Chains A and B, each alone.
Chain A
Amino acid sequence: MKSGLKRSNAPIFWALFGGGGMLSALVGPMLVFITGIAIPFGLLLPEGAMSYPKMLAFAQNWLGKAFVFAVIALFLWHAAHRIFHTLHDVGIHAGVAARLICYGSAFVATLVSAYVLLGLGF
């Protein structure tokens, strides 16, 4: 007998939203400070901390890869979900186009980051 109930895909998107929200809440501000302010301007951390050999080595380490991938992908899935649901509140009908733009960009960015990270080798 077939069940009439279809499984919803909503929990997946909620989990990605929650995971990205939690990760960005925990380390987001510090990451912005480190990569955008401290290292480029040599405050607290040396300017060479993001030199090419250092960053390449970091991105070739499996743990570094996992961290970069988690930050980029989860931050974007979190933002996509939140922006998509807030569109309704500003009077934009959340249709297929909005869904494609929000989740589609997160999906493409996830693929691109995975592709580059794997291409950098181990």
Chain B
Amino acid sequence: MSKRRPYVRPMDGWWKKNPYFVEYMVHEGTALFVAAYAFTLLVGLVRLGQGEAAWNGWLEALKSPLSLAFHAVLLVAILYHTYTWFKIMPRTLPPIIVGGKKLAPATITGGGLMAALVASLVLLGLVWRIAQ
């Protein structure tokens, strides 16, 4: 066994030194909120499977101020996920050639955000119709 202990550069907070990496960590961190929301829905689904009383208990829990604050945080974090998802998309997609020219990054990002807006409004419309 070697007695030497090679120096390992500590990794603590390396990303805090550069705004670019801070943003990277924040947008990667949105995954925690996406997971938290999915688990919230999963609990709801399990309660639905347990019958009416259980479901009503879950609905009641959603009306608490704590739940409202929780969902407000989720909303902000997942909105940021939407924004960064499409902002990064020009770099995660293979180059798209339209008319012999590479599609501009702003077009891809703008198109994605527009698609999200349309999908969200369609979803709201559908729920609104079912709710009547």
B-binding residues in A (CB < 8 A):
20-22, 24-37, 39-41, 44-46, 48-50, 52, 54-56, 58-59, 68, 71-72, 75-76, 78-80, 82-83, 86, 89-91, 109, 112-113, 116-117, 119-120
Contact = CB atoms under 8 A, between A and B. Distances in A.
B131 A26 contact: no
A21 B121 CA distance: 19
A24 to B, nearest CB: 5
Nearest to B44: A35
Interface in B56-102: 56, 59, 62-63, 67-68, 70-72, 74-75, 78-79, 81-82, 85-86
Q: Tell me the interface secondary structure of chain A in the complex.
A: helix
A39 B70 CA distance: 15
A27 B79 CA distance: 10
Q: Tell me the interface secondary structure of chain B in the complex.
A: helix
B55 A52 contact: yes
B48 interface: yes
Given A25-B85, A26-B116, A116 B41 contact: no
B52 to A, nearest CB: 4
Contacts of B104: none
Contact of B119 (A27, A83, A90): A27
B48 A119 contact: no
B131 A45 contact: yes
Nearest to A33: B75
A64 to B, nearest CB: 9
Contacts of B31: 78-79, 82-83, 86
Given A27-B123, A40-B63, A46-B131, A80 B15 contact: no
B1 interface: no
B71 A32 contact: yes
